[in-house]
Amino acid sequence: MADSQQYSIDTSHLDFDPNEMREKYTRERDKRIRKEGFGQYQATAGEFSNFIDDHYVEPGFTREPLFDEVDVVIIGGGFGGLLTGAHLREAGVKNIRVIDKAGDFGGTWYWNRYPGAQCDVESFVYMPLLEELDYIPSERYAHAPEILEHSKNIAKKYDLYKDTCFQTEVTEIRWDESISRWIIHTNRGDEMKAHFVAMSNGILTRPKLPGIPGIENFKGHTFHTSRWDYDYTGGSSAGELTNLKDKRVGIIGTGATAVQCIPHLGEAAKQLYVFQRTPSSVDVRKNAPTSPEWIKKLKPGWHQKRVENFNFSLTGGEPDKDLVGDGWTDVANAAKEMQRDKPSLSADQKKEALEIADLKKMQEIRDRVNTIVQDKKTAEALKAYYWQFCKRPCFHDEYLDTYNLSNVELVDTLGQGVERITETGVIVNGTEYELDCLIFATGFEVGGSYTGTSGYDVIGRDGAALSKKWDEGLATFHGMYSHGYPNCFFLGFTQTAVTANVTHMLNEQARHIAHVIAHGVNNGLSTIEASQEAEKEWIDIIEQHSGSAEQLYIKCTPGYYNNEGASGNRNGFFSGQFGGGPGKFFKILSDWRDEGSLKGLDIN
């Protein structure tokens, strides 16, 4: 996003004034900024802890505590943990234990079973290990049950169920110097030992609630989307929520989750009120069953090639062909088109080209609302006025049509949010909407420390807590290990490179971590630890680009991408990432592995 008020590249072809639009974006943003920032939210703890109960397991699970030893403990059974397990198995590591608080593998897809849940990045690039499992997703954007099943199949294929501890929460991991092992403490009384630990705690895992006055008073039925209560609504992830036919339902939030479940609520409820603070941008989806003809044409190696092609296209590269070619890459492709054959464009003009491409795309998305939503006031309220990537872009072919149903009402809070919750309903602009059921589609905690959101601390050499070390700022080598914490590996957004296709990032991290751990296990090494120098060098590399993501996002409408519009939070979603982009980051990792000397690691 360029800083200058006027554009220096040609904007005469636009059918709107880009400067006016930019000002409108700023006005829309400013009216949503709240001084409390992340503090506006209410944790799912204390009297709200029932919002995170696991509905998918039988109550009353018990087991004896474990005091045994394994080569590798993987914390987290979502895609990050599964991929680490898969790569470790490929590298010959046998003695692996996965720990997860859920009742099965799947991570995000274990918890998020709300109606309509679906991957929003193409399943042929989002779902990992497709060739290894000889599996082709049944549709272009697979639905949640299929992705959950795929997770379980990865665990089966790589024999990860054996030894796994489900329904187990890690409470602390502590390095025991005398035996060079980690001791893993859990809420089941375990004190198991592990030679190596890989942590894939997940990225958006802990549901949050809005701190709306009166939230504790609501007497009707209520739940968060990531713990959908099918006993109450009836139906399944495929919809058919028949128990709602005589219910007045309210949903707070209109983010990526709400966009997918609202069509099912609208279809089923006697009356649906959607309480909106900021509209999502909702572009076309065009989902389709996978074509058997297309499958026949796939050649070995197709999957990794497609995954890399998507990442390359999305991050400004120009592959021979944009293989995925869906709404994710439209803006990047349009910007590239504007820059083509214009070598004289300055860096600022290239930024302008990207901004203009985005303005055009968003105008197209707003125009689409007019073509679908019949009521003019509702249509206007559903238009998003911000850059497309300020929030998770949404793609859906039924969401907007839902507002044409006579039992569905959009309650626009004009950027201010719900005013108050009462025993019987929700108040917006002084009007009370009476409800039988109130659903929170209000997202997940972001912005705490790494150890804060994972729920446990990592106590390394000399009793030093990782939470304390990282309070001063993240400190890692390659984002995956930290000095003072030998044999301990992190997956996630820890000084690595963020991608829209999160499983791609996790797979590259898992491949790398498994390479290092397997080297340790297979060669009988005692400890592997990031050297202080290597860590310092990596932090310097990260700091060269520090703030670039924040600078970009600070102009955005508030949300979890930009610390709710507040600046200077070092623990924000995009803080401290490698600024060179994911492609370059993955190349650094593969070059490092190829070089072979495990440079930067102290090995004993």
Q: Does 257 bind ligand NDP (CB under 6 A)?
A: yes
Q: Residue 25 Cβ, how far from ligand NDP at the closest point, in Å?
A: 14
Contact 32, 277 (CB under 8 A): yes
Nearer to ligand NDP, 255 or 492 (CB): 255
- Site size toward ligand NDP (CB under 6 A) is 28
Q: Please pick, from the candidates 402, 442, 495, 575, the single residue that binds ligand NDP as defined by CB under 6 A.
A: 442
255: contact with ligand NDP by CB under 6 A: yes
Applying CB under 6 A, does 281 fall inside the site for ligand NDP? no
Q: How far apart are alpha carbons 589 and 535 in whole angstroms?
A: 15
Binding of ligand NDP by 503 (CB under 6 A): no
Least separation in angstroms between CB 557 and ligand NDP: 7
**Termini Cα distance of the chain:** 48
The answer to whether residue 275 forms part of the interface with ligand NDP (CB under 6 A) is yes
Span of 59-67, 273-281, 508-516, 586-594 interacting with ligand NDP by CB under 6 A: 273-281
Q: Cα-flanking dihedrals φ and ψ of residue 170, to 5°? A: -70, 135
Q: Which residues, 6 or more positions from 36, have their beta carbon under 8 angstroms from its beta carbon?
A: 211
Quick one: 108 or 454, whose CB is closer to ligand NDP?
A: 108
Give the nearer residue to ligand NDP in terms of CB position, either 506 or 513.
506
CB 170 within 8 A of CB 456: yes
Q: Which stretch binds ligand NDP (CB under 6 A): 117-125, 454-462, 465-473, 567-575?
A: 117-125
**Residue among 413 and 449 whose Cβ is closer to ligand NDP:** 413
Collapse the DSSP code of 599 into the 3-class scheme (helix H, G, I; strand E, B; otherwise coil) and give the result.
coil
By CB under 6 A, name the one of 559, 565, 572, 581 that touches ligand NDP. Answer: 559
Identify the H or E element spanning 170.
strand 170-176
277 part of the interface to ligand NDP, by CB under 6 A: yes
- With binding defined as CB under 6 A, does residue 560 bind ligand NDP? yes
Q: Please give the structure tokens belonging to residue 346.
A: 């300055």
Please, what is the minimum distance in Å from the beta carbon of residue 328 to ligand NDP? 11
The answer for residues whose C-beta is within 8 angstroms of residue 563's C-beta and 6 or more apart is 37, 38, 447, 569, 572, 573
Tokens linked to 104: 């099965």
Q: Is 278 in the site for ligand NDP (CB under 6 A)?
A: yes
User: What is the closest distance, in whole angstroms, from the C-beta atom of residue 118 to ligand NDP in the complex?
Assistant: 5
Which one of 240-248, 272-280, 330-338, 593-601 is the stretch in contact with ligand NDP (CB under 6 A)? Answer: 272-280
Contact between 384 and ligand NDP by CB under 6 A: the answer reads: no
Tell me, what DSSP letter sits at residue 333?
A: H
Is 410 a binding residue for ligand NDP by CB under 6 A? The answer is: no
Stretch that binds ligand NDP, among 190-198, 204-212, 235-243, 483-491 (CB under 6 A): 204-212
Of residues 118 through 177, those in contact with ligand NDP by CB under 6 A are: 118-120
Spatial separation of the C-alpha atoms in residues 368 and 383, rounded to whole Å: 9
Report if residue 258 touches ligand NDP, rule: CB under 6 A.
yes
CB of 258 to ligand NDP, least distance (A): 6
Q: Which of 419, 108, 397, 119 is nearest to 262 (CA)?
A: 397
Rounded Cα distance, 603 and 599, in Å: 10
In sign, the C-alpha dihedral spanning 121, 127, 130, 136 is: negative
Q: From CA 507, how far away is CA 128, in angstroms rounded? A: 8
Does residue number 115 form part of the binding site for ligand NDP (CB under 6 A)? no
* Cα–Cα distances in angstroms (integers) from residue 535 to residues 24, 72, 591, in the given order: 43, 23, 18
Is residue 256 close enough to count as binding ligand NDP by CB under 6 A?
yes
CB of 184 to ligand NDP, least distance (A): 28
Are 141 and 114 spatial neighbours (Cβ–Cβ below 8 Å)? no
- Residue closer to ligand NDP by CB (options 7, 386) is 386
CB of 100 to ligand NDP, least distance (A): 19
CB of 172 to ligand NDP, least distance (A): 28
Rounded CA Rg of the chain = 24
Degrees (nearest 5) of the Cα angle 204, 146, 224?
Answer: 40
DSSP labels for 461-472?
GGG-BHHHHHHT
393 binds ligand NDP (CB under 6 A): no
Residue 253 interacts with ligand NDP (CB under 6 A)? yes
Sheet bearing 221-224, strands edge to edge: 221-224, 437-440, 248-252, 271-276, 408-412
The verdict on 44 binding ligand NDP (CB under 6 A) reads no
Query: Which of 323, 318, 276 has the alpha carbon at shortest distance from 301?
Result: 323
Binding flags for ligand NDP, 60-99, as an x/- string (CB under 6 A) = ----------------------------------------
CB of 141 to ligand NDP, least distance (A): 8
- Kindly report the number of other CB atoms within 10 A of residue 37's CB atom: 16
Distances (CA, A) of 135 to 127, 325, 552, 599: 10, 22, 39, 37
Stretch that binds ligand NDP, among 63-71, 246-254, 488-496, 516-524 (CB under 6 A): 246-254
Site for ligand NDP, rule CB under 6 A: 32, 118-120, 204, 210, 212, 252-258, 260, 275, 277-278, 392, 413, 417-418, 441-444, 559-560
